[in-house]
């Protein structure tokens, strides 16, 4: 009877380890985090950032940091962000410094972009670029390798995206919607010159003249630098995410998928 019990125990043990082995190999390419996370992180000067993080479906898919336009919020990225998620990509979108929920520091002091009068080095606008380091750290904490991060920005968010990517070569690819040669003292021409042979998509509408002319100029710089650049044209005078019409965002996703 004792021998039978030992044999039975060995069989159970074997089945248990077989189950663990199968589970390990079936999950090794998955990001082990919850399906959706209401993100929160503290950045420069103690500002508390709020956002939303959805992980990629597998570790070989990129996660995109998404930066909204002036006076807007993280919510402008939906449903585009959800379309990305349906394709297996991750995303992390948050309210920029002084916008929406990201409007208080850890001491409870109110912070609003409407009072960001200074521009240039040390300004709140420049801090928006620096704050991205904390967003990247947040993603690293969630199991995302920095080499698997891309950035998508709209309007001033596009300028922030390009400036940050030009300083950090691990960023895989960037999408710029209606960037400007200068928004709020955030200049982009030199940043494009330093982008260095990576993939980039630039989009603007002809009727949105400043953004369109800026985008065309940036695209020319990218070509001179032998960057892998694609230029998309939006409709009428639409700016930033206003260019999304169902078809336009699909073109962006197709570009991401093909690269």
pTM: 0.84
Mark whether 19 and 97 lie in a shared domain. no
Arithmetic mean of pLDDT, 34-38:
62
Choose between 28 and 193: higher pLDDT: 193
CB 68 within 8 A of CB 154: yes
169 pLDDT tier (thresholds 50, 70, 90): very high
Query: How buried is 6 (Cβ within 10 angstroms: 0-12 exposed, 13-18 middle, 19+ buried)?
Result: exposed
Range with the lowest mean pLDDT among 22-31, 131-140, 214-223? Answer: 22-31
Same domain, 107 and 224: yes
Q: Are residues 82 and 43 in the same domain?
A: yes
Domain that holds residue 214: 31-258
Q: Residue 146 CB: number of other CB atoms within 10 A?
A: 13
Same domain, 43 and 21: no
Asked if 123 and 218 sit in the same domain, the reply is yes
C-alpha 33/C-alpha 182 separation (Å) is 38
Together in a domain, 9 and 79: no
pLDDT in tens, 150-161: 999 999 999 999
Q: Are residues 107 and 22 in the same domain?
A: no
24 and 50 together in one domain = no
Beta bridge partners of 152: 66, 175
Could you tell me if 16 and 136 lie in one domain?
no
Residue 141 sits in the same domain as residue 230: yes
Q: What is the pLDDT of residue 9?
A: 40
pLDDT value at 18 more than 90: no
Q: What angle do CA 177, 248, 129 make, to 5 degrees?
A: 20
Do 5 and 109 belong together in one domain?
no
Higher pLDDT pick, 212 / 102? 212
Whether residue 82 is predicted with pLDDT greater than 90 in this model: the reply is yes
Q: Are strands 182-183 and 186-187 parallel, antiparallel or unpaired?
A: antiparallel
The CATH number given to whatever domain includes residue 36 is 3.40.50.1820
Q: Which residue has the higher pLDDT, 21 or 168?
A: 168
In the chain, the number of structural domains is 2
For residues 110 and 52, give the distance between their C-alpha atoms in angstroms, rounded to a whole number: 21
Q: Is 255 exposed, middle or buried (0-12, 13-18, 19+ CB in 10 A)?
A: middle
**Section 132-140 average pLDDT:** 96
Residues 44 and 92 in one domain: yes
SS3 100: coil
């Amino acid at each position: 009877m004792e021998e039978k019990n030992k044999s039975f125990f060995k069989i159970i043990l074997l089945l248990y380890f077989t189950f663990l082995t199968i589970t390990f190999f079936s999950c090794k390419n998955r990001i082990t985090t919850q399906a959706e996370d209401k993100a929160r992180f503290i950045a420069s000067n103690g500002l508390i950032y709020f956002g939303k993080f959805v992980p990629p479906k597998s570790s070989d898919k990129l996660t995109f940091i998404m930066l909204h336009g002036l006076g807007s919020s993280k919510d402008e990225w939906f449903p585009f962000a959800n379309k990305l998620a349906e394709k297996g990509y991750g995303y992390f979108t948050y309210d920029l410094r002084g916008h929406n929920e990201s409007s208080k520091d850890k001491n409870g002091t109110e912070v609003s972009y409407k009072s960001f009068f200074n521009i240039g080095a040390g300004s709140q606008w420049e801090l928006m670029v620096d704050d991205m380091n904390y967003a990247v750290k947040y993603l690293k904490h969630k199991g995302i390798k920095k080499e698997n991060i891309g950035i998508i920005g709209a309007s001033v968010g596009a300028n922030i995206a390009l400036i940050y990517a030009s300083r950090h070569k691990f960023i895989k690819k960037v999408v710029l919607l209606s960037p400007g040669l200068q928004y709020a003292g955030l200049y982009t021409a030199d940043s494009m010159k330093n982008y260095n042979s990576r993939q980039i998509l630039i989009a603007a509408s002809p009727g949105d003249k400043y953004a369109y002319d800026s985008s065309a100029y940036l695209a020319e710089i990218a070509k001179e630098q032998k960057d892998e650049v694609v230029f998309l044209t939006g409709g009428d005078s639409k700016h930033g995410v206003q260019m999304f019409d169902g078809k336009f965002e699909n073109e962006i996703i197709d570009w991401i998928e093909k690269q």
